[in-house]
Amino acid sequence: MGKKARRNERRLLRELRLDFGALLIIGLSVLALSESWGVVGRALRLFLRFLFGNWSFVVPPVLIVGALYALIRRRPPRLDHPRTAGFLLLYADLLLFSHLELFTRLSADGAFQPSIVRETFHRLALEAAGGVPSAAGGGIIGALLFTAFYYLFGYYGTVIFGGLIAVSGLLLFSGTSVKAVVIPFKRRLSLGLRRLKAARRKRRPALARGGPAPSAPQAGPEADGALSVEAGGPSAEGEAAVWWPEAGGQGMLRISDFVDRVAEEAAGAGGAVDAPAGGEAPGAGDAQNKAAPGGRAAKAGLAAGSGEAGRPGAGDRGGPAARPDGGSRSPSADDAGAGEASAGEGAPAAGEGPLSRPYALPPVELLDRPRRATAKESRSIAENAKKLEQTLRTFGVGARVVHVHRGPAVTRFEVQPDAGVKVSRIVGLADDIALALAARGIRIEAPIPGKSAVGIEVPNDDIAVVTLREVLESPAFQRSRSKLTLALGRDITGEPIVADLGRMPHLLVAGATGSGKSVSLNAMIASILYKATPDDVKFVMIDPKMVELTVYNPIPHMLTPVVSDAKKAAVVLRRIVQEMELRYERFAAAGVRDIERFNAVSGEPLSYIVVIVDELADLMMVAAQDVEASIARLAQKARAAGIHLILATQRPSVDVITGVIKANIPSRIAFGVSSQVDSRTILDMAGAEKLLGRGDMLYLPMGAAKAIRVQGCFVSDREIEALVRYVAEQGRPAYAEHLTEDEPDDAGEAVDDELFPRAVALVVETKSASVSLLQRRFAIGYARAARLIDLMERHGIVGPYEGAKPRKVLVDRIPDRFIS
C-alpha cells in the first residue's frame, strides 16, 4: 500500500511539474510578445532578441504551441522527431542567412570585419541600453553559426551549405525524400515525351491521307465534326491553328494542344486514326457524325471526311473552317488580325515623332547599383548619445536620448526633456552641443512633429551616397501609379522619399551653387522617364545657363527644344498659358473638370506637360513682368489642365521668388543656402542655412507643417547620357513649333515712330531710361515719351517700372533690328 501511494505521489508530482512548466512557458511567452508589458516582458523580449536577432518573434508562438502540446499529450515534444528536427534546421538556417545578409552590409568591399560576433554583441547591447534600433541579423546564435561556416567554407561555401541545410530541413519537416519528389516528375516527363512521339507518328500519315492541302478554300477536306488545319500560318507543323469541335467558343486549338488531344484519343480509340480514308461507307460516316458529332468518332476521324470531298455541298464546308454552329471562319483571319496588330503597335501616335518600335520604358540596369556604405561602429553612436546627455546635464537641462536614427547624411538623436524643462533651453544650447560632439554644425528640430521629443541632427563623418536606382527600385516608387512620380532621396530614417508632381501641383527648388540642385533636377527628370512614355508626358525645358538641360534635346518626350534664350522663354511661357486656356475650352465642351476625366472619355487623350525652369533669376532679370504673370497664371490654374511647373533658382531672394509665386507654389525644396534670410524666403522658416550640401535638402510638401530632411538622389552624367541614349533610340521628338515661334510685332507704333530707334540708342548709350529723359532730349510730350518707354519694355530693352527707382537697361548694345 505504501509503495503504490508513493508511486501515485511521484506520478502526480511529474504531472504537476509538467503542468506548471507548460503554464509558465505560456505565460512568459505571452509576456515576451510585447515589450510594453512591464519590465519582465521587456527583459524577455531583449533576451530573445539577443539570442535570435530579428527572428526572435518566432520563438514565443513556437514555445506556446509546444507547451499546449505538452498539456494535451501529457508529455513534452520530442526533439528527435523528424518534423521537430526539420523545423529546427530551417530556423537555424534562417538565422544563418540573416547574418549572412548582415555581414554583406557590414562589409565595405567584401572584406571580413575583425569580429562579426563582437559587432553583433555591441549592436544588441546598444539597443538594450538606449533603445537604439539596429539590424541584429540572426542574433548571437546566428553570429556564431555564420562565423563557424565562414571560417570553414568561406562566403560562397556558406551559401551552398546553407541551401543544402534548407533542403534537408524541408524534407524532414514534410516527411518525404528526394526520390519521392524526383520519381513522379520523371514519370510524368517520360509519359509526355512518349505521347508526343506517338502523336507525331499518327498525325503525319493522317494528314497525308486527308486530300489536298487546305489552303484552297474550294477544296476543304473536312466534314462535319472533322479536324481542319487552318491555312495562313507559318507552317502546318509550327504555329498552325487546328479546328476542334469541342475546343470551346473559339473552336480553334494551337498545334501543341492538338497533339495532346490526338495522343489521348489515339490511346482510347485504338486504330481509328489509321483507318483507310475510303474504307468506310459514306452513309456510315454520316450516321456516326449525326449520332455523336462531338464524340470519339468525330475526334478521331481526321481522314474520314476525305471520302466526302466530291459530295454536293462538301465544297461549301471546305474553304473557311466549318463550325458546328453553322458559322464560318476565314482561314487567314487570325493572321491578318495579327499583322494589323503588329503594324498598329509600331505606328506612331498622332502628333508624335515616328517610333522605331513600340516604346519600352528604360530598364534600371542603365543606372549604377547602390554603393555599399562603409559600416560605422555603433559604439560611436552610443558614445555621442552619452555625450549629448552629459552636455545637457552640465547646463542644467534634464533630458535623455530615447531614440536614434542614422540617416545617409545626419544622425538624429531624439531627446525627451524631463518634466518642467523648456524646449527653448535645448534650442539655445545648439553651439555648445556642436562643440561637445565635435560636429561642424547641428540642426535642432523642436519639437519633432507627432512626437514628444526634440530632434538634434548631427552630421555624419561620411555622407552616404543615395543612388537614383535604389529609390527607383523601392516599393514606394514601384507602387506609385502616377506618371509624374519624382524620386527625391531618403530621409533621416533611411526611408525612400517619392512625390507625386500631379498632387503638388508645382514645385519650387532653391539652393546655392554646389548644393546639389541641378543633380536633383536631373534625378526628377529621370524618374519621370522611368514612369512615362512620350504619349503620357511632354517636357518644356528652359535653361538660360545653356549647359544643364540641353542633353535632353534628343528624347521624344520633348515638346520644344531646350530654350536657352531668356526672351524666347517668356514667349514660350505665354504660349503655355494659351495652351492651358485651349485645354479648358476642350474640357468645357466635353463636360469634364480635369485632364484625367477628359482622357477617360475622349478618343484623343492629352499629354501631361511639365515645364522645367533651371534658373528663374535670369528670366526675372530680363522679363520679370511677363514671366511673373505667366508663372502666376499657370500656378493658379494649370493643375487641372495637366500642366505642372518645376522652378529652380540659385538666388532665392524676394525679387526672384516674389510673393505671387510663393503664394501659388506651396511645395518647395531648399538646398543649402548662404543665409537665414534666404531660407525664410524659400521655406518661411530657418534651417536651410545649416544644410551640408551635396544633396542635403529640406523638403516642404504641400500642407506639411514642417520640412522633411532628405538626402537627395545622386545621378551621374554618365547615367543620364545612357538613359537619354536609350530613350532617344526609340523615336525622335515631335516639336510643337507654335510654342517657340516669335510673336508678331505688336509695337506697330514703334515701327512707324521714327524716334524709336534714336530713343533706343540714347537709352543704351546713357544706361538710363526715363520718360523725362526722352522728353528733354527729343522735345516731345509726356504721352509719346511714356509710350516709347513702354515699347522698350515690351522688346526687353529696359526693365519694369520700379517706383522711385530708375528702370534698368537690360541690353549692352543696340539690337540689330533697331539700327536704322
Give the pLDDT band of residue 648 (cuts 50, 70, 90). Answer: very high
Whole-number pLDDT of residue 799: 82
Q: What is the largest CA-CA distance in the chain?
A: 141
Residue 582 confidence class, pLDDT cut points 50, 70, 90: very high
Helical H segments across 175-248, by residue range: 178-208
**φ, ψ for residue 537 (rounded to 5)?**
-135, 140
Question: Residue 782 and residue 794: Cα distance in Å, rounded?
Answer: 18
**pLDDT tops 90 at residue 556:** yes
Instruction: Please name every residue paired with 496 in a beta bridge, in sequence order, or none if there are none.
Output: 490
Backbone angles phi, psi at 819, to 5 degrees: -85, 120
Q: Please indicate if the annotation marks 514 as binding a ligand.
A: yes
Q: What is the 3-state secondary structure (H, E, C) of 227-286?
A: CEECCCCCCCCCCCEEECCCCCCCCEEEHHHHHHHHHHHHHHHCCCCCCCCCCCCHHHHH
* Fold match, 468-739 / 748-818: no
- Give the model's pLDDT for residue 1: 52
pLDDT of 220: 40
643, three cell numbers: 500642366
Q: Is 476 known to sit in a ligand binding site?
A: no
Does residue 512 have a known ligand-binding role? Answer: yes
Cα–Cα dist 294/272, whole Å: 15
- Which ranges of 378-496 does DSSP label H, i.e. alpha helix? 378-394, 423-427, 430-436, 468-472, 475-479
- pLDDT band, residue 713 (cuts 50/70/90): very high
Q: 588: annotated binding-site residue?
A: no
CA distance linking residue 189 with residue 763, whole number of Å:
92
- The answer on whether 511 is annotated among ligand-binding residues is yes
Q: What percent of the chain stands above pLDDT 70?
A: 74
Distance, CA of 541 to CA of 529 (rounded, Å): 14
Residue 219 has a pLDDT of: 40
| 378-459 fold | Threonyl-tRNA Synthetase; Chain A, domain 2 (3.30.980)
Q: Identify the pLDDT of residue 717.
A: 92
548 CB burial (10 A radius; 0-12, 13-18, 19+): buried
Residue 236 binned pLDDT confidence (cut-offs 50, 70, 90): very low
Distance, CA of 261 to CA of 253 (rounded, Å) = 10
- pLDDT (0 to 100) of residue 724: 94
- Return the C-alpha cell found at 155: 562566403
| Beta-strand relationship, 537-542 and 608-613 | parallel
Q: Assess contact for 96 and 138: CB atoms under 8 A.
A: yes
- What is the C-alpha to C-alpha distance for residues 452 and 446, in angstroms, rounded to an integer? 9
2 is in an annotated binding site: no
Weakest-pLDDT range from 83-97, 230-244, 477-491, 558-572:
230-244
Mean pLDDT of 2-9: 76
Predicted confidence band at 748 (pLDDT cuts at 50, 70, 90)?
Answer: very low
Cα R_g (the chain), whole angstroms: 39
Residue 637 has pLDDT above 60, yes or no: yes
| Residue-level length of the chain | 820
307 within 8 A of 282, measured Cβ to Cβ? yes
C-alpha cell at 74: 501529457
Count the Cβ atoms, other than its own, within 10 Å of residue 316: 12
Four-CA torsion 381, 382, 383, 385, nearest 10 degrees: 90
| pLDDT for residue 449 | 81
Question: For residue 256, what pLDDT is reported?
Answer: 54
Q: Which helix (H) or strand (E) holds 542?
A: strand 537-542
- For residue 365, pLDDT beyond 70: yes
Tens of pLDDT, residues 13-29: 888 888 888 888 888 88
Those residues with Cβ within 8 angstroms of residue 316's Cβ, 6 or more apart along the chain or in another chain: none
The whole-chain average pLDDT of the chain stands at 76
* Predicted local confidence at residue 529, as pLDDT: 95
CA dist 75 and 21 (Å) reads: 11
HSE of 41, CA atoms in CB hemisphere, 13 A? 12
Residue 310: pLDDT over 90: no
Q: Angle 303-307-309 (CA atoms, 0-180°, nearest 5)?
A: 100
- Mean pLDDT for 540-550 is 89
pLDDT in tens, 34-79: 766 677 877 888 888 888 888 888 888 888 888 888 888 888 887 7
- Cα 720 to Cα 518: distance, rounded to the nearest angstrom: 12
- Tens of pLDDT, residues 200-213: 777 665 555 554 44
CA distance 181 to 50: 38
Q: Known binder of ligand: residue 306?
A: no
Question: Where does the pLDDT of residue 441 fall: very low under 50, low under 70, confident under 90, or very high at 90 and above?
Answer: confident
Burial of 370 by CB count in 10 Å (0-12 exposed, 13-18 middle, 19+ buried)?
middle
More confident residue, 671 or 328: 671
- Per-residue pLDDT band for 820 (boundaries 50, 70, 90) equals low
**Cα distance from N-terminal residue to C-terminal residue, the chain:** 137
C-beta of residue 382 within 8 angstroms of C-beta of residue 406 = no
CA distance 33 to 79: 24
Q: Is 626 exposed, middle or buried (0-12, 13-18, 19+ CB in 10 A)?
A: buried
Residue 424 banded pLDDT, cuts 50, 70, 90: confident
- Judge if the upstream peptide bond of residue 205 is cis by omega within 30 degrees of 0: no
More confident: 273 or 481: 481
CA neighbours closer than 13 Å in the CB half-sphere of residue 664:
20
CB 408 within 8 A of CB 466: yes
Residue 743: its pLDDT value, please?
A: 56
**CATH class for the domain made up of 468-739:** alpha beta
pLDDT of residue 309: 38
User: Phi and psi dihedrals of 643, rounded to 5?
Assistant: -115, 125
Residue where the block lists cell 532679370 = 621
Is the pLDDT score of 157 beyond 50?
yes
The residue-averaged pLDDT of 787-804 equals 82
Kindly tell me if the per-residue pLDDT of 652 is higher than 80.
yes
At 402, the pLDDT band (50, 70, 90 cuts) reads confident
What local confidence, expressed as pLDDT, does residue 238 receive?
42
The average pLDDT across 286-295 equals 39
Closest by Cα among 61, 62, 64 to 83: 62
With a cut of 90, say whether residue 611 has pLDDT above it.
Answer: yes
Strands 696-700 and 667-670: antiparallel
Distance CA 423, CA 441 (A): 19
- For 142, 189, 599, the CA distances from 603, given in Å and listed in that order, are 60, 50, 7
Rounded Cα distance between 615 and 545, Å, is 7
Secondary structure (3-state) at 439:
coil
| 485-491 β-sheet, strand order | 496-500, 485-491, 708-712, 696-700, 667-670, 507-510, 643-649, 608-613, 537-542
Residue 642: what pLDDT? 94
Which class is domain 748-818? mainly alpha
Domains of the chain, residue spans: 185-282+291-325, 378-459, 468-739, 748-818
Cis peptide before 217 (omega within 30 of 0): no
* Strand-strand pairing, 485-491 and 496-500: antiparallel
Lowest mean pLDDT among 214-228, 387-401, 710-724, 794-808: 214-228
Give me the percent of the chain exceeding a pLDDT of 90.
20
Q: Is 315 annotated as a binding residue?
A: no
| Residue whose C-alpha is closest to residue 334's, from 251, 440, 223, 390 | 251
- CA neighbor of 168 nearest in space, from 92, 61, 230, 55: 92
Is residue 763's pLDDT more than 70? yes
Residue among 225, 226, 229, 227 nearest 216 (CA): 229
Q: Is 483 helix (H, G, I), strand (E, B) or coil?
A: coil
